[in-house]
């Protein structure tokens, strides 16, 4: 517990000066590629997201015929975890759309962990509560945050997130 508290305080300190995040993550693409954790159900999800059928679905859904692959990270946001303002643009890969598959049952809005989109004036324009078995999909770049999970949240916020990529 002490290590978690120290890690959290250090992350909060860095967040005062710009982009920072704090949440538990499992890099699904890399784990599948490297043969880590054989038999893990997340590998089945990676295979599905990168199947020809799903890639075709992604192209049809977005209208972007250049989508070639889907990256994936399993995320767990516990009390105190957050993701500061960012737009998902990357210099080393062509991220066309970001997605979040929400896996938290019975999530309450006042627990935090909300996906919030910022407008040009800095105000929050739209907010999504992470509802069980829902998909949030949005074009990159787009400024957004995941609000801090509160100390009174009864569970962690679980999701699979990543990008529909062109490269």
Domain that holds residue 101: 28-165
Specify the DSSP class assigned to residue 47.
H
Do the beta carbons of residue 77 and residue 150 sit within 8 Å? no
Q: What is the pLDDT along the chain (167 residues), one digit of tens a residue?
A: 455 888 889 999 999 998 999 999 999 999 999 999 999 999 999 999 999 999 999 999 999 999 999 999 999 999 999 999 999 999 999 999 999 999 999 999 999 999 999 999 999 999 999 999 999 999 999 999 999 999 999 999 999 999 999 97
| Residue 54 lies inside a defined structural domain of this protein | yes
| Phi and psi at residue 84, to the nearest 5° | -70, 170
CATH number of the domain enclosing 47: 2.60.120.620
| Residue 18 lies inside a defined structural domain of this protein | no
Contact partners, residue 145, CB within 8 Å, separation at least 6:
82, 83, 84, 85, 86, 115, 116, 118
Number of domains in the chain: 1
The reported pLDDT for the residue numbered 3 is 58
The answer to whether the Cα torsion of 83, 110, 161, 116 is positive or negative is negative
Distance CA 40, CA 36 (A): 9
- Which of 162, 149, 146 lies closest to 71 in space, CA to CA? 162
Strand partners, 73: 27, 161
């Amino acid at each position: 517990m002490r290590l978690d508290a120290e890690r959290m305080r250090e992350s909060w300190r860095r967040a005062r000066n710009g982009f920072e995040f704090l949440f538990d993550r499992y890099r699904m693409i890399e784990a599948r590629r490297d043969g880590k954790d054989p038999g893990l159900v997340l590998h089945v999800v990676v295979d599905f997201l990168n199947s020809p059928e799903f890639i075709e679905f992604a192209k049809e859904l977005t209208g972007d015929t250049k989508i070639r692959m889907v990256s994936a990270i399993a995320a767990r946001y516990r009390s105190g975890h957050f993701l500061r303002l960012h737009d998902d643009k990357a210099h080393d890969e062509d991220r066309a759309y970001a997605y979040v598959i929400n896996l938290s049952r019975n999530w309450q809005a006042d627990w935090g962990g909300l996906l919030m989109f910022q407008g040009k004036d800095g105000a929050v324009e739209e907010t999504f509560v992470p509802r069980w078995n829902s998909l949030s999909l949005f074009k990159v770049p787009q400024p957004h945050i995941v609000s801090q999970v509160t100390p009174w949240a009864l569970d962690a916020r679980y999701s699979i997130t990543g990008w529909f990529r062109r490269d």
